[in-house]
């Protein structure tokens, strides 16, 4: 596969069972074959995207000492600001050429999780920053919920299987700034090849090229969402749950050609996480004599911690 497949969420939301079934089969096959999908018909309006890009550009333009005042020590970079070069891909000790901000869940229904989730961080200098981020967060969360319902049907699960696990899950909306490159980066990339930790990722159309996906024939292909699309990919948690029936796809953000080093890049991925006590045990229907169980049983919260350690954001 040399091109990212496309789909329209309105097909699944239609009252036509044939259109809904066709959507389920198409997205399931797409995720199995390449792990990525370009999705339109979602709940995130274009003006909201533009508003959030405007806010994050204003934040990353703040003086470094101001940004660093929002860096929370000891939480693995799960909320607030994380400075340039501090995150690296698993198995790679060279920091990525980026800085980022995390918006997290605002808890209303599960107050007991307040002892587990880090608190959201409020930016004083930009009055609309947090409000805009929260609105975008909720629209992406709503889209992810519906998409997981389609994935559940593809896996021969009850349509609402994931609902209980993602209600106020530990999802993150990440605002990324890849600054202009002012000297040869040697072995560093804007984002080295990696798989995502979570169930699924929803990526808004990025401002700047560079995202590439490693297809099943080990060929890197471009994966840039159109203005009205979200780029969706399978994360490692869903790979574990499905015993790799829906594999997590390796992707990266390559450095631009030298003549474009002076251009910054901004990106807004939403990482859909479940609540920490969701079991990521391989589903029984994904295990048979030809497909032995590949992963040990683990809870989502424990798996997340392990991965944050591997990324250099947490100590053991």
Extract the tokens encoding 61: 């333009």
Three-state secondary-structure class, residue 151: helix
Question: What is the rounded distance in angstroms from the CA atom of residue 94 to the CA atom of residue 43?
Answer: 37
For the chain (316 residues), the mean pLDDT of every run of 10, in chain order, is 86 95 97 92 93 96 96 84 77 74 92 91 96 97 98 97 96 92 67 86 73 87 84 95 93 74 86 96 94 96 88 64
Q: Are 159 and 152 in contact (CB under 8 A)?
A: yes
- Residue with the two structure tokens 């018909």: 41
Question: What is the rounded distance in angstroms from the CA atom of residue 212 to the CA atom of residue 230?
Answer: 15
Q: What is the 3-state secondary structure (H, E, C) of 244-302?
A: CCCCCCCEEECCCCHHHCCCCEEECEEEECCCCCCECCCCHHHCCCCCCCCCCCCEHHH
Give the model's pLDDT for residue 200.
97
Question: What is the rounded distance in angstroms from the CA atom of residue 126 to the CA atom of residue 283?
Answer: 45
Nearest to 106 by CA among 151, 158, 167, 51: 167
Domains and CATH numbers, the chain: 6-310 (2.60.120.330)
pTM score over 0.75:
yes
Give the model's pLDDT for residue 88.
62
Give the model's pLDDT for residue 313.
64
């Amino acid at each position: 596969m040399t091109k990212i497949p496309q789909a329209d969420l309105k097909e699944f939301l239609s009252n036509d069972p044939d259109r809904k079934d066709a959507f389920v089969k198409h997205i399931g096959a797409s995720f199995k074959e390449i792990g990525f999908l370009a999705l339109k018909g979602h709940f995130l309006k274009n003006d909201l995207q533009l508003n959030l890009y405007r806010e994050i550009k204003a934040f990353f333009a703040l003086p470094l000492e101001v940004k660093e005042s929002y860096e929370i020590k000891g939480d693995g970079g799960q909320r607030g600001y994380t400075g340039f070069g501090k995150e690296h891909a698993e198995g790679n000790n060279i920091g990525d050429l980026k800085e980022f901000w995390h918006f997290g869940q605002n808890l209303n229904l599960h107050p007991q999780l307040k002892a587990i989730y880090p608190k959201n961080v409020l930016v004083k200098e930009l009055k609309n920053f947090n409000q805009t981020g929260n609105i975008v967060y909720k629209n992406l969360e709503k889209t992810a919920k519906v998409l997981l319902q389609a994935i559940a049907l593809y896996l021969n699960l009850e349509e609402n299987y994931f609902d209980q696990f993602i209600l106020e899950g530990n999802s993150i909306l990440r605002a990324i700034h890849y600054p202009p490159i002012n000297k040869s980066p040697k072995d560093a990339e804007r984002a080295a090849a990696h798989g995502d930790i979570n169930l699924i990722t929803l990526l808004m159309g990025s401002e700047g090229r560079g995202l590439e996906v490693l297809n099943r024939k080990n060929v890197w292909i471009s994966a840039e969402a159109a203005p009205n699309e979200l780029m969706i990919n399978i994360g490692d948690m869903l790979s574990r749950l499905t015993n790799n029936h829906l594999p997590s796809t390796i992707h990266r953000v390559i450095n631009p050609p030298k003549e474009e080093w002076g251009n910054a890049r901004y990106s807004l991925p939403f990482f859909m996480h479940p609540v920490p006590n969701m079991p990521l045990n391989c589903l029984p229907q994904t295990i048979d004599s030809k497909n032995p169980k590949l992963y040990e049983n683990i809870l989502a919260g424990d798996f997340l911690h392990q991965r944050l350690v591997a990324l250099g954001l947490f100590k053991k």
